[in-house]
Structure 1
Amino acid sequence: MRDLRAAALAALLILVAPGGAQGGSFDYYVLALSWTPSWCAREGDARDAPTCAPGAGVGWSVHGLWPQNDDGTWPEYCPTPHRNPSRAQTAAQAGLFGSGGAAWHQWNKHGRCSGLSAPDYYALTARARDPVALPPLKDLPRIATETLRKTILAANATLAEDSFVLTCRQGALDELRLCLTRDLTPRPCDARLAARACDRHTLRVPPPR
């Protein structure tokens, strides 16, 4: 029953997909990695999200792997010949995305546009995330934005200054967004994405729960 409802919703969303984009038609990927404690304070606590529970200890987590275009646009909810993932398949991705529901949402909104099957999309997301070294940021209530950028660059030899952006909301660290070719090699971000970089000199860093 859930699959039937999901399929009906997906069909409706395809009708309103921007530009009627087809799966596999895009220029590069954005790997979005969220600082979960900031999301918890902003939204997750109100949702009683498990990743925000005391003792969860979640810092960085995958928000998604997003098809992106060089002009700063991106496809969403694309038509695809591939089957939707099962509940078991999405639940198995909770360690990567934070929850099975988040894994389903990322497939439905972005994974369809990759041109891949759901299992292959999830596997590619894991491959994109695995080599990225991220600072733990524990016991660090504030950090200079430039210091964080330099720390990330020093820990990831393949990254360049123009291949990632840091975003913030309400003065708090929000996300690290990495720009990757379709074979997951770092590349320059498009100008519109680069313009979304945080302009704060310092960032609040809420601690993991």
Structure 2
Amino acid sequence: MRRARPVGLALPAPMLRAAFILAAFLLWSGLPAQAQQQGRDAPGRFDFFVLALSWSPTYCAGPKASPQQCRGRSHRFVVHGLWPQYVRGYPDFCQSPAPYVPDAVVSGMDDLMPSKGLILHEWRKHGTCTDLSPKSYFDLVRAARGKVAIPPAFAADSPPTLTGEAIEAAFMSANPGLKDDMIAVDCNDGRLSEVRICMNRDLGFIACPEVNRRSCSPRRPLAIPAP
């Protein structure tokens, strides 16, 4: 005697796909945060660094200037941050809550990053993605800054107006091994805002096409406000 076959409901392919996606989402959202973070933005998973050097007088002329950085002292280039990057895109805020940064570590960075708010923000947004302790991360920031020589033009009392191309050339001349596809110049309202230099995990200079493409127009003259 032939047994009757169970009768099932055959769903159309699009509905099956939607059901699968929903099930996967529910499974993912139910995982602990630590398990979720083993994906793309897990601490320590990145390809290279960007060392961002901010021209402080431009920042201090803006509406969000930090009193701690912009009053009482004159700064030129300060470290905006050391940012882990992917070849395309970047991770951020990789640990929540972020590990505590000891006061001694914060005060020890004052010569390079003259704002407690900046230091703590950079740790939360970028440092937590390195899989380093706060002290080790900021030690690495200091080491990265020590790898870059600042061109003499930026030491002048009144730095000259330079094109983005000329700024890159000045940094390349002062830093053997640095090429034009390893650096980007950022600007704001016709003024130099930042110089960004790409480094590998050993802090050697490295090409970074996506970062480089975001440079200001290379032939546009940029004012460099005096400190």
Provide TM-score, normalisation by structure 2: 0.76
Partner of 1:28: 48
Q: CA deviation at 1:80?
A: 7.5
Report what 1:105 is aligned to.
Answer: 121
- Residue matched to 1:50: 68
Partner of 1:92: 108
Query: Kindly, what percent of the aligned residue pairs are identical?
Result: 35
Paired residue for 2:58?
38
Contact 2:147–2:203 under 8 Å retained in 1: no
Question: Which one has the bigger helix percentage?
Answer: 1
Q: Which has the larger radius of gyration?
A: 2
Alignment partner of 1:133: what SS? coil
Q: Which moved more, 1:76-85 or 1:194-203?
A: 76-85
Aligned length: 189
Q: Relative contact order (C-alpha < 8 Å, sep 6+): which is higher?
A: 1
Equivalent residues in 2 for 1:58-77, closer than 5 Å: 58-71=75-88, 73-77=89-93
Instruction: Give the drift of 1:192.
Output: 2.7
Letter in 1 for 2:49: Y
Amino acid across the alignment from 1:50: Q
Instruction: Please report the RMSD computed on the Cα atoms of aligned residues, expressed in angstroms.
Output: 2.4
Q: Tell me by how many angstroms 1:90 deviates.
A: 1.4
**TM-score normalised by length of structure 1:** 0.82
Counterpart of 2:99 in structure 1 is 83
SS in 2 for 1:63: strand
Gaps spanning 5+ residues in structure 1: where? 1-13
Stretches of structure 2 that go unaligned for 5 or more consecutive residues are: 1-33
Cα distance, 1:145 vs. partner? 2.3
Instruction: For 1:82 and 1:203, locate their aligned partners in 2 and report how far apart those are by CA, in whole Å.
Output: 37
